[in-house]
Amino acid sequence: MTTSDRPRYRFFLAHHNHSECSSKCVSIGLGRLKFWVCARCLGVYSIMALVISLDMILKFNLSDTMRAVGFFLLGTAPWAHWALEHFRRRSVGPVFLKTISGAFLGFGLGLLLAGHFRNPWNHGFTFSILMLVIGSSAVVFLESFFRD
């Protein structure tokens, strides 16, 4: 294989080892350049930005508590999917499932963040983010504790 035959993938929003990119990332072509983009992050950030924008334009009439409930309803399954992959240290399910899963989490995060922008550090936002940080930290800690 010559240098010109190699795929011209570039690191772009793909925080996985290159060997994992085929199972955790999507390839987006831009002319001769191709970029790996994390499939889950693609769903999270695109939908989150869309929901925040729509909330600013349409001014959703949701209380801070309802936004937090929405975040938990939409984000629990995607979070569990991420935690399962983290514990197993391998990809679970097809790549498109990660994007769909990320989109649900992005929807919940968008609702939550839009509420935070309107009413900074409201009780629903603060509680939800604390639970997310504590839960995710527990997954990372327990995974490394039992593996190493």
Beta bridge partners of 38: 25
The kind and range of the H/E element at 35 are: strand 33-38
The one segment of 32-40, 86-94, 121-129, 138-146 that binds Zn ion by CB under 5 A: 32-40
Strands 9-11 and 33-38: parallel
Q: How far is the CB of 13 from Zn ion (least distance, A)?
A: 7
Q: Which of 21, 41, 52, 109 binds Zn ion (CB under 5 A)?
A: 41
The kind and range of the H/E element at 105 are: helix 95-118
Q: What span, in angstroms and rounded, lies between the C-alpha atoms of 139 and 147?
A: 12
- Please say which residue, 78 or 115, places its beta carbon nearer to Zn ion: 78
Core vs surface per residue 101-112: b (16+ CB within 10 A) or e: bbbbbbbbbbbb
Q: Which of 25, 26, 36, 40 binds Zn ion (CB under 5 A)?
A: 40
Size of the site for Zn ion (CB under 5 A): 3
- Tell whether residue 111 is a contact of Zn ion (CB under 5 A): no
- Please say which residue, 67 or 98, places its beta carbon nearer to Zn ion: 98
Under the rule (CB under 5 A), what is the footprint of Zn ion?
A: 38, 40-41
